[in-house]
Protein backbone atom coordinates (compact mmCIF):
# COMPACT_ATOMS: atom_id res chain seq x y z
CA UNK A 1 0.00 0.00 0.00
CA UNK A 2 1.57 3.24 -1.13
CA UNK A 3 1.23 6.24 1.15
CA UNK A 4 3.20 8.58 -1.10
CA UNK A 5 1.44 11.79 -2.08
CA UNK A 6 3.30 14.59 -3.84
CA UNK A 7 2.99 18.09 -2.37
CA UNK A 8 1.20 19.24 -5.51
CA UNK A 9 -1.37 16.46 -5.25
CA UNK A 10 -1.92 17.17 -1.55
CA UNK A 11 -2.59 20.84 -2.34
CA UNK A 12 -5.00 19.85 -5.10
CA UNK A 13 -6.90 17.49 -2.78
CA UNK A 14 -7.07 20.09 0.00
CA UNK A 15 -8.41 22.76 -2.32
CA UNK A 16 -10.97 20.39 -3.77
CA UNK A 17 -12.09 19.28 -0.32
CA UNK A 18 -12.46 22.84 0.94
CA UNK A 19 -14.53 23.72 -2.10
CA UNK A 20 -16.90 20.88 -1.11
CA UNK A 21 -17.53 22.04 2.46
CA UNK A 22 -20.77 23.96 1.85
CA UNK A 23 -22.26 21.24 -0.35
CA UNK A 24 -21.17 18.57 2.15
CA UNK A 25 -23.12 20.22 4.94
CA UNK A 26 -26.11 20.88 2.71
CA UNK A 27 -26.20 17.29 1.49
CA UNK A 28 -25.79 15.83 4.95
CA UNK A 29 -28.72 17.94 6.14
CA UNK A 30 -30.91 16.78 3.24
CA UNK A 31 -30.18 13.17 4.12
CA UNK A 32 -30.81 13.94 7.79
CA UNK A 33 -34.22 15.46 7.06
CA UNK A 34 -35.26 12.48 4.93
CA UNK A 35 -34.15 9.34 6.80
CA UNK A 36 -35.09 5.85 5.67
CA UNK A 37 -34.80 2.53 7.48
CA UNK A 38 -32.62 -0.34 6.31
CA UNK A 39 -33.67 -1.94 3.00
CA UNK A 40 -36.08 1.00 2.53
CA UNK A 41 -33.53 3.68 1.56
CA UNK A 42 -35.35 4.22 -1.72
CA UNK A 43 -35.22 8.01 -2.07
CA UNK A 44 -31.77 8.11 -0.46
CA UNK A 45 -30.46 5.67 -3.07
CA UNK A 46 -32.16 7.56 -5.89
CA UNK A 47 -30.44 10.80 -4.84
CA UNK A 48 -27.04 9.10 -4.49
CA UNK A 49 -27.28 7.36 -7.87
CA UNK A 50 -28.31 10.59 -9.58
CA UNK A 51 -25.27 12.41 -8.19
CA UNK A 52 -22.86 9.62 -9.06
CA UNK A 53 -24.10 9.37 -12.63
CA UNK A 54 -23.87 13.13 -13.02
CA UNK A 55 -20.27 13.06 -11.74
CA UNK A 56 -19.45 10.46 -14.38
CA UNK A 57 -19.20 7.08 -12.63
CA UNK A 58 -20.50 3.74 -13.78
CA UNK A 59 -23.17 2.93 -11.21
CA UNK A 60 -24.80 -0.41 -10.39
CA UNK A 61 -28.06 -0.11 -8.45
CA UNK A 62 -31.55 -1.53 -8.10
CA UNK A 63 -32.04 -5.25 -8.67
CA UNK A 64 -28.70 -5.40 -10.50
CA UNK A 65 -26.82 -4.43 -7.33
CA UNK A 66 -27.68 -7.33 -5.00
CA UNK A 67 -29.59 -9.54 -7.38
CA UNK A 68 -31.23 -12.55 -5.81
CA UNK A 69 -29.03 -12.90 -2.71
CA UNK A 70 -30.75 -13.40 0.62
CA UNK A 71 -31.68 -10.19 2.44
CA UNK A 72 -32.26 -10.58 6.18
CA UNK A 73 -34.76 -8.40 7.99
CA UNK A 74 -37.11 -7.43 5.19
CA UNK A 75 -40.61 -6.27 6.16
CA UNK A 76 -43.36 -8.87 6.41
CA UNK A 77 -45.12 -6.89 3.67
CA UNK A 78 -42.28 -5.13 1.81
CA UNK A 79 -42.97 -1.70 0.36
CA UNK A 80 -42.33 -1.24 -3.38
CA UNK A 81 -38.58 -1.00 -3.92
CA UNK A 82 -37.63 -2.46 -0.53
CA UNK A 83 -34.48 -4.57 -0.77
CA UNK A 84 -33.35 -2.96 -4.04
CA UNK A 85 -31.53 -0.14 -2.25
CA UNK A 86 -27.87 0.86 -2.04
CA UNK A 87 -25.48 1.07 -4.96
CA UNK A 88 -21.85 0.86 -6.01
CA UNK A 89 -19.96 3.35 -8.19
CA UNK A 90 -17.08 1.97 -10.23
CA UNK A 91 -14.12 3.51 -12.01
CA UNK A 92 -11.68 1.25 -13.84
CA UNK A 93 -8.46 2.90 -14.99
CA UNK A 94 -7.75 0.04 -17.37
CA UNK A 95 -4.21 -0.11 -16.01
CA UNK A 96 -2.82 -2.84 -13.73
CA UNK A 97 -3.19 -2.00 -10.09
CA UNK A 98 -5.15 -2.73 -6.92
CA UNK A 99 -8.92 -2.72 -6.56
CA UNK A 100 -9.87 -0.28 -3.81
CA UNK A 101 -13.25 -0.23 -2.09
CA UNK A 102 -14.47 2.52 0.21
CA UNK A 103 -17.73 1.77 1.99
CA UNK A 104 -20.23 4.19 3.56
CA UNK A 105 -23.61 3.25 5.03
CA UNK A 106 -26.87 5.06 4.34
CA UNK A 107 -29.69 3.78 6.60
CA UNK A 108 -31.39 5.40 9.59
CA UNK A 109 -32.92 4.15 12.86
CA UNK A 110 -36.46 3.78 14.27
CA UNK A 111 -36.12 6.70 16.71
CA UNK A 112 -38.25 9.82 17.30
CA UNK A 113 -35.94 12.81 16.88
CA UNK A 114 -35.75 15.42 19.66
CA UNK A 115 -37.17 18.89 19.16
CA UNK A 116 -36.65 22.17 20.98
CA UNK A 117 -33.07 23.37 21.01
CA UNK A 118 -31.79 20.21 19.31
CA UNK A 119 -29.57 21.57 16.51
CA UNK A 120 -31.32 19.86 13.55
CA UNK A 121 -34.71 21.03 14.83
CA UNK A 122 -33.45 24.55 15.48
CA UNK A 123 -31.72 24.60 12.08
CA UNK A 124 -34.74 23.35 10.18
CA UNK A 125 -33.31 20.01 9.03
CA UNK A 126 -34.74 17.60 11.61
CA UNK A 127 -36.35 14.38 10.42
CA UNK A 128 -39.55 14.88 8.47
CA UNK A 129 -40.53 11.26 9.10
CA UNK A 130 -41.97 10.61 12.58
CA UNK A 131 -40.25 7.70 14.28
CA UNK A 132 -37.31 7.57 11.88
CA UNK A 133 -34.02 9.41 12.46
CA UNK A 134 -30.39 9.49 11.42
CA UNK A 135 -29.08 8.89 14.94
CA UNK A 136 -25.74 7.28 14.07
CA UNK A 137 -24.10 9.58 11.51
CA UNK A 138 -24.93 7.66 8.35
CA UNK A 139 -26.28 10.87 6.80
CA UNK A 140 -22.77 12.30 7.19
CA UNK A 141 -21.18 9.12 5.86
CA UNK A 142 -23.28 9.26 2.69
CA UNK A 143 -22.40 12.91 2.13
CA UNK A 144 -18.70 12.15 2.65
CA UNK A 145 -18.89 9.31 0.12
CA UNK A 146 -20.38 11.61 -2.51
CA UNK A 147 -17.87 14.39 -1.81
CA UNK A 148 -15.04 11.86 -2.14
CA UNK A 149 -16.45 10.82 -5.51
CA UNK A 150 -16.50 14.43 -6.69
CA UNK A 151 -12.99 15.25 -5.40
CA UNK A 152 -11.40 12.22 -7.06
CA UNK A 153 -13.15 12.05 -10.41
CA UNK A 154 -10.95 14.60 -12.27
CA UNK A 155 -7.82 12.75 -11.10
CA UNK A 156 -8.74 9.09 -11.54
CA UNK A 157 -7.54 8.81 -15.14
CA UNK A 158 -3.96 9.36 -13.88
CA UNK A 159 -4.06 6.36 -11.53
CA UNK A 160 -3.83 2.59 -11.67
CA UNK A 161 -6.29 -0.11 -10.73
CA UNK A 162 -10.00 0.09 -9.98
CA UNK A 163 -12.10 2.08 -7.53
CA UNK A 164 -15.39 0.97 -5.97
CA UNK A 165 -17.43 3.41 -3.89
CA UNK A 166 -19.96 1.33 -1.97
CA UNK A 167 -23.11 2.95 -0.53
CA UNK A 168 -24.33 0.10 1.67
CA UNK A 169 -27.95 -0.39 2.75
CA UNK A 170 -29.20 -1.92 6.00
CA UNK A 171 -26.12 -1.52 8.19
CA UNK A 172 -28.15 -1.30 11.38
CA UNK A 173 -28.83 -4.76 12.73
CA UNK A 174 -25.97 -6.29 10.77
CA UNK A 175 -27.93 -7.10 7.61
CA UNK A 176 -26.69 -5.40 4.46
CA UNK A 177 -22.99 -6.28 4.47
CA UNK A 178 -23.59 -10.01 4.25
CA UNK A 179 -25.80 -9.51 1.21
CA UNK A 180 -23.17 -7.26 -0.42
CA UNK A 181 -20.48 -9.86 0.20
CA UNK A 182 -22.68 -12.72 -1.01
CA UNK A 183 -23.38 -10.76 -4.21
CA UNK A 184 -19.64 -10.92 -4.93
CA UNK A 185 -18.72 -7.26 -4.67
CA UNK A 186 -15.74 -7.98 -2.39
CA UNK A 187 -14.33 -10.84 -4.46
CA UNK A 188 -11.77 -8.74 -6.35
CA UNK A 189 -11.03 -6.15 -3.66
CA UNK A 190 -7.41 -5.78 -2.55
CA UNK A 191 -7.85 -2.86 -0.15
CA UNK A 192 -11.07 -2.13 1.72
CA UNK A 193 -11.82 0.64 4.18
CA UNK A 194 -14.88 2.04 5.91
CA UNK A 195 -15.37 5.10 8.10
CA UNK A 196 -17.47 5.95 11.11
CA UNK A 197 -17.97 9.41 12.60
CA UNK A 198 -17.99 10.01 16.35
CA UNK A 199 -17.98 7.03 18.72
CA UNK A 200 -16.32 9.11 21.41
CA UNK A 201 -13.42 10.31 19.26
CA UNK A 202 -13.27 14.12 19.58
CA UNK A 203 -13.30 16.52 16.67
CA UNK A 204 -10.00 16.90 14.78
CA UNK A 205 -8.87 13.47 16.00
CA UNK A 206 -8.89 10.16 14.19
CA UNK A 207 -8.37 6.53 15.16
CA UNK A 208 -6.76 4.08 12.75
CA UNK A 209 -5.47 1.42 15.16
CA UNK A 210 -9.02 0.31 15.88
CA UNK A 211 -9.64 -3.03 17.58
CA UNK A 212 -12.41 -4.80 19.44
CA UNK A 213 -15.17 -4.59 16.86
CA UNK A 214 -17.60 -7.06 18.37
CA UNK A 215 -19.15 -9.90 16.43
CA UNK A 216 -22.90 -10.08 16.95
CA UNK A 217 -25.93 -12.16 16.15
CA UNK A 218 -29.63 -11.38 16.51
CA UNK A 219 -32.76 -13.52 16.71
CA UNK A 220 -36.49 -12.94 16.50
CA UNK A 221 -38.37 -15.37 18.74
CA UNK A 222 -42.03 -16.32 18.35
CA UNK A 223 -43.69 -18.28 21.17
CA UNK A 224 -47.09 -19.94 20.77
CA UNK A 225 -48.95 -21.31 23.77
CA UNK A 226 -52.63 -21.89 24.48
CA UNK A 227 -55.21 -19.31 25.53
CA UNK A 228 -57.50 -19.93 28.53
CA UNK A 229 -59.76 -18.05 30.93
CA UNK A 230 -57.37 -16.56 33.47
CA UNK A 231 -59.94 -16.75 36.30
CA UNK A 232 -61.93 -19.91 35.64
CA UNK A 233 -59.41 -22.37 34.13
CA UNK A 234 -55.89 -20.89 34.10
CA UNK A 235 -54.42 -24.39 34.29
CA UNK A 236 -55.81 -25.12 30.82
CA UNK A 237 -53.64 -22.43 29.29
CA UNK A 238 -49.97 -22.28 28.35
CA UNK A 239 -48.72 -18.73 28.83
CA UNK A 240 -46.43 -17.52 26.08
CA UNK A 241 -45.93 -14.34 28.10
CA UNK A 242 -44.55 -16.16 31.14
CA UNK A 243 -42.21 -18.15 28.91
CA UNK A 244 -41.04 -14.95 27.24
CA UNK A 245 -40.39 -13.25 30.58
CA UNK A 246 -38.33 -16.16 31.88
CA UNK A 247 -36.41 -16.27 28.60
CA UNK A 248 -35.68 -12.54 28.78
CA UNK A 249 -34.31 -12.74 32.32
CA UNK A 250 -32.33 -15.88 31.61
CA UNK A 251 -30.74 -14.52 28.45
CA UNK A 252 -29.35 -11.53 30.33
CA UNK A 253 -27.68 -13.92 32.78
CA UNK A 254 -25.77 -15.42 29.85
CA UNK A 255 -23.63 -12.25 29.65
CA UNK A 256 -21.86 -13.10 32.91
CA UNK A 257 -18.38 -13.94 31.62
CA UNK A 258 -14.73 -13.01 32.06
CA UNK A 259 -14.30 -13.15 28.28
CA UNK A 260 -14.01 -9.75 26.54
CA UNK A 261 -16.99 -8.08 24.91
CA UNK A 262 -19.67 -10.57 25.99
CA UNK A 263 -23.05 -8.84 25.84
CA UNK A 264 -26.66 -10.03 25.60
CA UNK A 265 -29.69 -7.79 25.28
CA UNK A 266 -33.42 -8.41 24.90
CA UNK A 267 -34.54 -5.28 23.09
CA UNK A 268 -38.23 -5.96 22.41
CA UNK A 269 -40.96 -8.05 24.00
CA UNK A 270 -44.70 -8.00 23.34
CA UNK A 271 -47.49 -10.36 24.29
CA UNK A 272 -51.08 -10.63 25.38
CA UNK A 273 -54.44 -9.21 24.36
CA UNK A 274 -56.47 -8.78 27.56
CA UNK A 275 -55.92 -8.93 31.32
CA UNK A 276 -58.23 -11.92 31.83
CA UNK A 277 -56.80 -14.15 29.11
CA UNK A 278 -53.78 -16.42 29.45
CA UNK A 279 -51.52 -15.00 26.68
CA UNK A 280 -51.41 -17.34 23.72
CA UNK A 281 -48.57 -15.72 21.77
CA UNK A 282 -45.46 -13.66 22.48
CA UNK A 283 -42.63 -12.15 20.46
CA UNK A 284 -39.21 -11.04 21.58
CA UNK A 285 -35.98 -9.99 19.90
CA UNK A 286 -32.52 -10.46 21.37
CA UNK A 287 -28.94 -9.97 20.31
CA UNK A 288 -25.60 -11.20 21.57
CA UNK A 289 -22.09 -9.86 21.05
CA UNK A 290 -18.54 -11.03 21.68
CA UNK A 291 -15.08 -9.84 20.76
CA UNK A 292 -13.88 -13.25 19.56
CA UNK A 293 -15.67 -15.35 16.96
CA UNK A 294 -15.27 -18.54 19.01
CA UNK A 295 -16.86 -16.83 22.02
CA UNK A 296 -19.78 -15.63 19.91
CA UNK A 297 -20.31 -19.12 18.50
CA UNK A 298 -20.35 -20.60 22.00
CA UNK A 299 -22.68 -17.89 23.31
CA UNK A 300 -24.95 -18.35 20.32
CA UNK A 301 -25.33 -22.06 21.04
CA UNK A 302 -25.99 -21.48 24.76
CA UNK A 303 -28.62 -18.81 24.11
CA UNK A 304 -30.43 -20.87 21.48
CA UNK A 305 -30.45 -23.94 23.74
CA UNK A 306 -31.76 -21.88 26.65
CA UNK A 307 -34.58 -20.31 24.64
CA UNK A 308 -35.72 -23.65 23.23
CA UNK A 309 -35.45 -25.48 26.57
CA UNK A 310 -37.37 -22.78 28.45
CA UNK A 311 -40.11 -22.84 25.84
CA UNK A 312 -40.42 -26.63 26.21
CA UNK A 313 -40.60 -26.30 29.99
CA UNK A 314 -43.57 -23.95 29.62
CA UNK A 315 -45.23 -26.17 27.06
CA UNK A 316 -45.15 -23.57 24.28
CA UNK A 317 -43.92 -23.81 20.72
CA UNK A 318 -40.83 -21.80 19.80
CA UNK A 319 -39.54 -20.45 16.50
CA UNK A 320 -36.10 -18.81 16.36
CA UNK A 321 -35.44 -16.72 13.24
CA UNK A 322 -31.99 -15.20 12.56
CA UNK A 323 -32.27 -11.42 12.26
CA UNK A 324 -28.76 -10.43 11.15
CA UNK A 325 -25.27 -10.11 12.56
CA UNK A 326 -21.75 -8.94 11.87
CA UNK A 327 -18.28 -10.42 12.23
CA UNK A 328 -15.76 -9.39 14.84
CA UNK A 329 -12.70 -7.52 13.60
CA UNK A 330 -9.54 -5.60 14.52
CA UNK A 331 -7.54 -3.52 12.07
CA UNK A 332 -4.21 -5.03 11.02
CA UNK A 333 -1.21 -2.96 12.08
CA UNK A 334 -0.10 -2.29 8.50
CA UNK A 335 -3.33 -0.63 7.41
CA UNK A 336 -3.37 1.53 10.54
CA UNK A 337 0.19 2.71 9.88
CA UNK A 338 -0.64 3.36 6.23
CA UNK A 339 -3.72 5.44 7.04
CA UNK A 340 -1.82 7.40 9.69
CA UNK A 341 0.94 8.19 7.18
CA UNK A 342 -1.58 9.46 4.64
CA UNK A 343 -3.32 11.54 7.29
CA UNK A 344 0.00 13.05 8.33
CA UNK A 345 0.82 13.97 4.72
CA UNK A 346 -2.52 15.73 4.22
CA UNK A 347 -3.11 17.15 7.70
CA UNK A 348 -6.75 16.11 7.50
CA UNK A 349 -6.99 15.38 11.24
CA UNK A 350 -4.65 17.11 13.66
CA UNK A 351 -4.47 14.29 16.21
CA UNK A 352 -4.28 10.51 15.94
CA UNK A 353 -5.27 8.24 18.82
CA UNK A 354 -2.67 5.53 19.47
CA UNK A 355 -5.42 2.90 19.65
CA UNK A 356 -9.18 2.66 20.04
CA UNK A 357 -11.29 -0.16 21.45
CA UNK A 358 -14.45 -0.02 19.34
CA UNK A 359 -16.60 -1.90 21.84
CA UNK A 360 -19.61 -2.27 19.55
CA UNK A 361 -20.51 -3.98 16.30
CA UNK A 362 -20.09 -2.62 12.77
CA UNK A 363 -21.46 -4.29 9.66
CA UNK A 364 -18.35 -3.31 7.68
CA UNK A 365 -16.42 -5.93 9.65
CA UNK A 366 -18.17 -8.62 7.60
CA UNK A 367 -16.93 -6.97 4.39
CA UNK A 368 -13.41 -6.50 5.77
CA UNK A 369 -13.23 -10.15 6.77
CA UNK A 370 -14.42 -11.27 3.34
CA UNK A 371 -11.61 -9.21 1.74
CA UNK A 372 -9.01 -10.58 4.16
CA UNK A 373 -10.15 -14.15 3.51
CA UNK A 374 -9.34 -13.59 -0.17
CA UNK A 375 -5.86 -12.23 0.53
CA UNK A 376 -6.60 -8.50 0.72
CA UNK A 377 -6.54 -6.13 3.67
CA UNK A 378 -9.21 -4.03 5.33
CA UNK A 379 -9.61 -1.28 7.89
CA UNK A 380 -12.42 0.49 9.72
CA UNK A 381 -11.45 4.03 10.74
CA UNK A 382 -13.16 6.22 13.34
CA UNK A 383 -13.11 9.90 12.46
CA UNK A 384 -13.58 12.40 15.26
CA UNK A 385 -16.76 14.42 15.59
CA UNK A 386 -18.00 15.88 18.85
CA UNK A 387 -21.55 14.69 19.52
CA UNK A 388 -24.61 16.40 21.00
CA UNK A 389 -25.56 13.07 22.61
CA UNK A 390 -24.68 9.40 22.27
CA UNK A 391 -25.32 7.35 19.15
CA UNK A 392 -28.83 5.88 18.82
CA UNK A 393 -30.45 8.59 20.96
CA UNK A 394 -33.06 11.27 20.06
CA UNK A 395 -30.62 14.16 20.66
CA UNK A 396 -27.78 12.74 18.56
CA UNK A 397 -26.03 15.18 16.25
CA UNK A 398 -22.51 15.55 14.83
CA UNK A 399 -20.01 18.36 14.61
CA UNK A 400 -20.27 19.16 10.91
CA UNK A 401 -16.68 20.44 10.72
CA UNK A 402 -15.71 16.75 10.64
CA UNK A 403 -17.27 16.32 7.20
CA UNK A 404 -14.68 18.17 5.13
CA UNK A 405 -11.80 16.65 7.11
CA UNK A 406 -13.23 13.19 6.46
CA UNK A 407 -13.70 13.82 2.73
CA UNK A 408 -10.10 15.02 2.47
CA UNK A 409 -8.80 11.94 4.28
CA UNK A 410 -10.90 9.47 2.26
CA UNK A 411 -9.95 10.97 -1.08
CA UNK A 412 -6.30 11.05 -0.02
CA UNK A 413 -6.34 7.38 1.02
CA UNK A 414 -7.69 6.42 -2.38
CA UNK A 415 -5.31 8.77 -4.21
CA UNK A 416 -2.34 7.19 -2.46
CA UNK A 417 -3.52 3.62 -3.05
CA UNK A 418 -4.16 4.23 -6.77
CA UNK A 419 -1.00 6.32 -7.22
CA UNK A 420 -2.87 9.32 -8.61
CA UNK A 421 -0.93 12.21 -10.10
CA UNK A 422 -1.43 15.75 -11.33
CA UNK A 423 -1.24 15.85 -15.10
The per-residue pLDDT for range 95-145, each reduced to its tens digit, is: 999 999 999 999 999 999 999 889 999 999 999 999 999 999 999 999 999
Q: Contact 90/163 with Cβ under 8 angstroms?
A: yes
Average the pLDDT over each of 71-75, 99-103, 309-313, 350-354 and give the range with the smallest value. 71-75
More confident residue, 351 or 326: 351
Q: How far apart are CA 163 and CA 60, in angstroms?
A: 13
3-state secondary structure of 46: helix
322 or 99, which is more confident: 99
Q: Are 69 and 4 in contact (CB under 8 A)?
A: no
**What residue ranges of the chain are covered by domains with CATH 3.40.630.10?**
7-67+82-213+329-417
Question: Does 3.40.630.10 match the CATH number of domain 7-67+82-213+329-417?
Answer: yes
Chain-centre distance for alpha carbon 151: 24
- pLDDT at residue 257, rounded to an integer: 85
Q: Look up the CATH number of domain 216-325.
A: 3.30.70.360
pLDDT digits (tens, 9 = 90+) for 367-393: 999 999 999 999 999 999 999 999 999
Q: What is the DSSP letter of 133?
A: B
User: Residue 342: which of 201, 199, 193 has the closest Cα?
Assistant: 193
Residues of the chain with CATH 3.30.70.360: 216-325
Amino acid sequence: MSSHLTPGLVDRLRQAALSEEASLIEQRRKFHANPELGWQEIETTRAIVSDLVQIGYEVVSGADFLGGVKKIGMSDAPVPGEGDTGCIAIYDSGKPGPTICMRVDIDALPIHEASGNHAPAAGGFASTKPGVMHACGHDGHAAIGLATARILKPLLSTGRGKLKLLFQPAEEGGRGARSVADAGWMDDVDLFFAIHLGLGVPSDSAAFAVHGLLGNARYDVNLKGRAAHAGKTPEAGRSALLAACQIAQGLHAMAQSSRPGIRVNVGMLRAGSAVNIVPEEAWLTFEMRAQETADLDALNLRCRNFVEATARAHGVECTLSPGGGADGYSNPADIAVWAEDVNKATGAFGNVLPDLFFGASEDAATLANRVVQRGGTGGIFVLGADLADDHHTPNFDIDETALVKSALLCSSLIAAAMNLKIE
